[in-house]
Amino acid sequence: MPFFCVCWKIVMDLALIELLGRAVAASGLSYWGSEWVNDSGHRLLRVYVELKDNSCVTADDCVLATKQIKALLNVEAVIDYDYSLEVSSPGIDRRLFCFEHYVRCLNQVVKCKLKRKQDGYRVVLGELIAAEEGEVKVVMNGKEWVLAVADIDKINLVG
């Protein structure tokens, strides 16, 4: 499986995302998202899961999802290098990975880390008031910010 490394971030392959989603669903949970993290030079695959009824994920849920993910990844052999697997709840300050997440989190406070400064700011913290394909709107200090999703490095809820 090809992967791209930019500043120690590995871009998630779509086939891998689909496999992770299948494995998580097989454990009775919902797939929230995943990311590769550099952990002191070692690759860490972090997978976020939630319960379908939005109640709290337990350690037992994470153990079950971990077993399902490991089993499927071993059978499919899509990762051909050493890595560690971590499965957890996305938490209160959850990262928003996709358009569906933006829509689901409308009217909540978010922290947007931008790839480069926009109007002197690299971080926009405020209420997420709109999400359209390709952009989000956030109100910070009374000003409406229209941010292209392509310009956002990371967006998280603020608990």
CA distances from 135 to 20, 54, 103, 132, 146 (A): 26, 26, 11, 5, 7
For 32, 43, 85, the CA distances from 82, given in Å and listed in that order, are 24, 7, 10
What percent of the chain is predicted at pLDDT more than 70? 92
Given 88, 117, 138, the domain boundary residue is 88
Provide, rounded to the nearest whole percent, the portion of the chain with pLDDT above 90.
68
Q: Which of 88, 115, 135 is the last residue of a domain?
A: 88
Asked if residue 61 belongs to a domain, the reply is: yes
Last residue of a domain, one of 88, 110, 143: 88
Report the predicted TM-score, pTM, of the whole model to 2 decimal places: 0.81
Kindly state whether residues 114 and 71 are assigned to the same domain: no
Same domain, 129 and 79: no
What's the pLDDT at 1? 32
Domain of 138 in residue numbering reads as: 99-157
Q: How high is the pLDDT of residue 25?
A: 94
- Decide if 93 is inside a domain: no
Residue 108 lies in a domain: yes
pLDDT (tens digit, 9 = 90+) per residue, 44-63? 999 999 998 877 899 999 99
Calculate mean pLDDT across residues 30-36.
Answer: 92
Residue 42: the pLDDT is 87
Can you give the pLDDT at residue 144? 96
- Give the domain CATH number at 103: 2.30.30.100
Total domains, the chain:
2
> What's the rounded Cα separation, in Å, for the pair 145 and 154?
16
pLDDT tens for 92-118 read: 999 999 899 999 999 999 999 999 999
pLDDT in tens, 105-151: 999 999 999 999 999 999 999 999 999 989 999 999 999 999 999 99
- Residues 74, 104 share a domain: no
| pLDDT band at 12; cut points 50, 70, 90 | low
Residues 9 and 78 occupy one common structural domain: yes
